[in-house]
Amino acid sequence: MDMRKTLALTSALALAAGLTACAADSSGGDADGDVTMTFWHNSTTGEGKAYWEETVAAFEEANPGVTIEIQAVQNEEMDGKLQTALNSGDAPDIFMARGGGKLADVVSAGQVMDLTDSIDDATRTAVGDAGFSAFTIEDKVYGMPTAILPGGIYYSGDQFAEAGIDAAPTTMAELDDAVEALKGIGTQPIALGAKDAWPAAHWYYFFALRECSQEVMAEAADTRMFDDECWTRAGEDLQAFAETEPFNEGFLTTSAQQGAGSSAGLLANGQAAMELMGAWQPGVVASLTPDEQPLADLEWFPFPAVEGGEGDPSAMMGGVDGFSCWAQAPKEECTAFLNFFMQKEHQEGYANAFHTLPASQEAQGVVTEPALQQVLEAYNEAAYVSVWLDTLFGQNIGNALNVGVVDMLAGQGSPEAIVEAVNAAAAKG
Amino acid sequence: MASISEDAHRAHRSPVDQAGGVAPVAAPPAGPPARRRTSGVGWRTRAEIALLAGPALGVFLAFVIFPVVMAAYYGFFSWQGYGPPTEFVGLRNYVTILTDPTFHDALRHNAFIVVMSLVLQGPVAVLLALLLNRPLRGRSVIRVLIFVPYVISEVVVGTGWSLMLATNGALNDLLAKVGLDGLAQEWLSDPDVAIWTLMGIITWKYVGFAVILFLAGLQGIPEELSEAASIDGASYWQVQRRITLPLLGPTVRIWAFLSIIGSLQLFDLVYIIWGQYVASTAGTSTMATYMVVNGRNAGSYGYGNAVAVVLFVISLVIALLYQRFVLRRDTDGAITGGKR
């Protein structure tokens, strides 16, 4: 009998413990005034991971009593994990953010700290307004940008030379000619990872950037409706372009960045000549070349001009990577860390580690890869820079665009259907 | 619950019974008042049940029933997943799902997969099981070969097949090398071909499971029956058709049940091979992939939960109907407590 009672008691206790073990303390402070913060970033391997470890160590040394616990989260898992953490009320103090509509959703749930008054003057000057714009919601800043990632077409200079293309295409007509010339030398003109959908949707985004004026873009970001004709024209442009069969064989089942058979892999291994991508591309391609070194002949040109389009031909589109503080993080220490890694030396380290463009203009001198220098040049001359449409309009519409564009490229949709899908997306709230 | 423990008591006398005598567990609701000692045993038995089943039941409630209830709750909201849901939309999500042609497509694909899984795997598995049930050279090797695909993880299988079946993959390459270029296909992206590609992979992967089940079922059929039939002059095929197959019935019916439920919930293979967006253009989307595309990827967690509820209800209804009309004879006494 005693035995049984003990058993009952232990099992009840074990059960209770199991169900309540998740109530963690997240205040971050303790009795001696020491502060511990958690920090989530998405570099699980190599140089990027090492960069964050070094930067955090330097910060801890400069700020005794502050400890930062680093967690590297796989990029594809980041959104879901962060969402779960925010809902559980025990979120990381510092987490990755990409601005736009996605960030707006988290801000409206009261989960992000307002950084407007906490940004150093030095940082503000170094980044400039453009860098902060993606993180600005109703004149308040909610994130610290670390990298700017404008998109455009990356290409293999050697294959262009072999096909007799002297200058990078500047108009759609020239791009069509380049596609034909590349087919002539037996290579696949453009790699496209449509299995992941977003690379295909990017083609639509850029046609929209050329077809729609800046005002129409801004208005659509507000209303989240596509009621201007230019949205349909962008779809028609993409459809007409796809009919010239510029993409690699089996592009619908090609992934974007996974292995040699992915679209980035085709470019890295000389089986395709071009790919439309953001400024993370040099790093991704480098990891997929046979010797895992940067592709020596990788070059870049901006998305070509579209005849009759209402957008500025120099306008660019891209993403911004950055970090936000959780609303309940220790404010002083968290903002101190954000300002700390924006110093010139740490931003230079960031650019080198990630093979990309740092958000701090002071640090942009360390960019040496030719393709990235071409991106930077165009970026500094752009009339305006839009963020990716899926970031701008939020996840819901971004997803509808993904579906609509893939359907159309598979021959089962239409330019009108893309616009309809976006306008119907709100109903699937 | 009570009836099961009653059966247990009848089946073998536990030490408790030897000490305290056999007694009905629960006092009848109307009739003579139960003796004190009886209710003592009843209370003790219940305490034992509570102690032994309690933890499992608690975990089941916390991690199965509670999430199901929460999903039903979230399904009534438009919810982006940050903070608690606030925007109540009533049945709007369900109306949208049931009127969405993309969902109808997914439902149709699921129905096709359910039927074709039974039609393709059933006969093949029965034949293989009959073959492997006889003494023959290399039987264990064949058995292992058939069963291996079932053991490999879906992710590995999906990745392997998608590499082999890609447009410039091994299969088309092989066809070209043996001069059959004409047979090369867009195995994965052509909507007329892709669903058959999927069925091929599903059959290859899951037929091993059916074979193992049927072999176990065949082990349970007494050899005397077929011996007697042979002596009476029945041919091998007559024996199989009149004796073996009918006696294998319960096993086949259980396997079909598992296969149907699995087909309704199919997600991993499609997700790995086609990704989330190409599946619908290739005609291989399922209700589960629809849920991920329109729920998690769209950031519409309320809508996604509503899809989950629809999928749950469809599976539950089919499962209950199957239990009621097909499995009834086989499970009499085990699930229905012996009541007719």
Question: Is B278–A410 a contact, with Cβ atoms under 8 angstroms apart?
Answer: yes
CB atoms within 10 A of CB B71: 16
Question: What rounded mean pLDDT belongs to chain B?
Answer: 82
Side-chain-side CA neighbours of A408 within 13 Å: the count stands at: 29
Q: What pLDDT score does B8 carry?
A: 41
Q: How close B295 gets to chain A, by Cα (Å)?
A: 9
Return the higher-pLDDT residue of A414 and A394.
Answer: A414
The predicted pLDDT at position B115 comes to 95
A197: which chain B residues are within 8 Å (Cβ-Cβ)? 275-278
Q: Is the pLDDT of residue B122 over 50?
A: yes
Show residues of chain A in contact with B282, CB under 8 Å: 252, 410
Cβ distance A429 to B78 less than 8 Å, yes or no, reads yes
What residues in A contact B278, CB-CB < 8 Å?
194-195, 197, 252-253, 406, 410
**For residue B179, what pLDDT is reported?**
81
Yes or no, beta carbons of B166 and A429 under 8 Å apart:
no
Residues in chain B within 8 Å Cβ distance of A110: 83
Residues of chain A found within 8 Å of residue B193, distances taken between Cβ atoms:
none
Q: Which residue has the higher pLDDT, A242 or A390?
A: A242
- What sections of A224-328 are H helices per DSSP? 229-243, 263-268, 281-288
User: What average pLDDT is seen over chain A?
Assistant: 87
Beta carbons of A399 and B79 less than 8 Å apart: no
What integer pLDDT is reported at residue A427 of this predicted model? 65
Tell me whether residues B276 and A427 touch, CB distance under 8 A: no
Angle between helices B191-219 and B268-282 (to 10 degrees): 150
Could you tell me which chain B residue has the CA closest to the CA of A404? Answer: B277
A242: closest CA of chain B, how far (Å): 16
Residue A250 is encoded by which pair of tokens? 């089996």
What's the pLDDT at A235?
A: 96
Say whether residue A109 is in contact with chain B using an 8 A CB cutoff: yes
Query: Chain B residue with minimal CA distance to A408?
Result: B281
From residue A225, give the alpha-carbon distance in Å to each of A107, A220, A410, B127, B147: 22, 6, 24, 58, 53
Average pLDDT of the residues in A101-129: 87
Cα-atom radius of gyration of chain B, to the nearest Å? 26
Cβ atoms B83, A109 nearer than 8 A: yes
Is B277's CB within 8 Å of A12's CB?
A: no
User: Does the distance separating the beta carbons of B302 and A429 come in below 8 Å?
Assistant: yes
Q: Return residues 216-255 of A near B (CB < 8 Å).
A: 249-250, 252-255
For chain A positions 181-200, those within 8 Å of chain B (CB to CB) are 194-197
Pair A213, A205: CB distance under 8 Å: no
Render pLDDT for B289-300 as a digit per residue (tens, 0 to 9).
999 988 888 888
Name the residue of chain B whose CA is nearest to A14's CA: B55
Rounded to whole angstroms, how far apart are CA atoms A278 and A86? 28
User: A428, B303: Cβ pair inside 8 Å?
Assistant: yes
Residues B315, B317, B319, B321, CA torsion sign: negative
Segment A378-390 shows an average pLDDT of: 88
Residue B182 has pLDDT above 90, yes or no: no
Return d(Cα B124, Cα B118) in angstroms, integer. 10
A51: nearest Cα among A303, A342, A310, A350: A350
Question: Average pLDDT in the B180-200 region?
Answer: 86
A8, B297: Cβ pair inside 8 Å?
no
For domain A35-149+318-385, give the CATH superfamily. Periplasmic binding protein-like II (3.40.190.10)
Here the tokens at position A429 are: 């709230």
- Going by pLDDT thresholds of 50, 70 and 90, the confidence category of residue B41 is low
For an interface test with A, give the residue of B64, B80, B89, B186 to mutate (most A CBs within 10 A).
Answer: B80
Instruction: State the nearest Cα–Cα gap between A372 and chain B, in angstroms.
Output: 31
Query: Cα(A367)–Cα(A289) distance, rounded to whole angstroms?
Result: 21
- pLDDT digits over B136-159, tens only? 788 888 888 888 999 999 999 999
For residue range B129-140, what is the model confidence (pLDDT) as tens digits? 988 888 778 888
- Looking at the complex, report in whole angstroms how far the Cα of residue B62 sits from the nearest Cα belonging to chain A: 8
Residues of A in contact with B197 (CB under 8 A): none
pLDDT in tens, A136-195: 888 899 999 999 899 999 999 999 999 999 999 999 999 999 999 999 999 999 999 999
Q: Which of B287, B242, B289 is nearest to B270 (CA)?
A: B289
pLDDT at B156 (0 to 100): 93
Q: Which residues does chain B have within 8 Å of residue A15's beta carbon, measured at their own beta carbons?
A: 54-55, 58-59
B48 neighbourhood in chain A, CB within 8 Å: 4
Domain positions in chain A: 35-149+318-385, 150-316+386-427
Taking CA atoms, what residue in A is nearest to B52? Answer: A8
pLDDT at A7 over 80: no
Ordered by where they begin, the domains of chain B are 65-99+300-332 (no CATH), 103-287 (1.10.3720.10)
| Contact yes or no for B278 and A253 at CB 8 A | yes
pLDDT tens for residues B218-243? 888 888 888 888 888 888 888 888 88
pLDDT of A27 strictly over 70 = no
**Adjacent-strand bridge partners of A40:** A71
Contact A105 B80 (CB under 8 A): yes
Cβ atoms of A364 and A350 within 8 Å: the answer is no
CB count, 10 Å around CB of B120? 17
Q: Residue A102's closest chain B neighbor by CA? A: B299
Question: Per the structure block, which two tokens stand in for A11?
Answer: 């099992």
* pLDDT at A342 > cutoff 90: yes
Lowest mean pLDDT among A193-197, A301-305, B5-9: B5-9
Using a pLDDT cut of 70, give the percent of chain B over it. 85
pLDDT tens string B91-101: 989 999 999 88
B60 against A26, higher pLDDT: B60
**Fold equal for A35-149+318-385 and A150-316+386-427:** yes
The answer to whether B303 and B127 are in contact (CB under 8 A) is: no
Given a cut of 50, whether residue A126 has pLDDT beyond it is: yes
Find where tokens 């967006």 sit.
Answer: B277
CATH class of A150-316+386-427: alpha beta
In 3D space, the residue among A322, A352, A340 whose CA is nearest the CA of residue A40 turns out to be A322
Please give, rounded to a whole number of angstroms, the shortest distance from the CA of A368 to a CA of chain B.
36
Residues of chain B with C-beta less than 8 angstroms from the C-beta of A262:
none
d(CA A198, CA B276): 11
Cβ neighbors of A408 (< 8 A, separation 6 or more) are: A235, A238, A239, A242, A414, A415, A417, A418
Read off the pLDDT band of B333 (50, 70, 90): low
Contacts of A233 (CB under 8 A, 6+ apart): A207, A211, A415
Distance CA(A152)–CA(B305), nearest Å, equals 37
The nearest CA of chain B is from the CA of A397 a distance in Å of 7
Kindly tell me the number of DSSP H helices and DSSP E strands found in chain A.
Answer: 18, 13
Alpha helices of chain B — where are they, by DSSP H? 2-11, 15-20, 36-60, 66-74, 92-98, 101-132, 139-151, 154-165, 170-177, 191-219, 223-231, 236-239, 245-264, 268-282, 287-291, 301-325, 328-331
Element at A130 (helix H, strand E): helix A121-133
The neighbouring-strand residues paired with B152 are: none
| Three-class DSSP category at B302 | helix
Question: Does B274 sit within 8 Å of A11, measured CB to CB?
Answer: no
Of A8, A253, A399, the CB nearest to B274: A253
How far, in Å, CA of A360 to CA of A346, rounded? 10
Distance from CA of A83 to the nearest CA of B (A): 7
Question: B231 CA to chain A: closest CA distance, Å?
Answer: 59
Element (H, E) at A179: helix A172-184
CB of A377 closer than 8 Å to CB of B280: no
* Tokens matching residue A251: 């592009």
Whether the CB-CB separation of A265 and A281 falls below 8 Å is answered with no
Residues of A within 8 A of B281 (CB-CB) are 252, 406-407, 410, 412
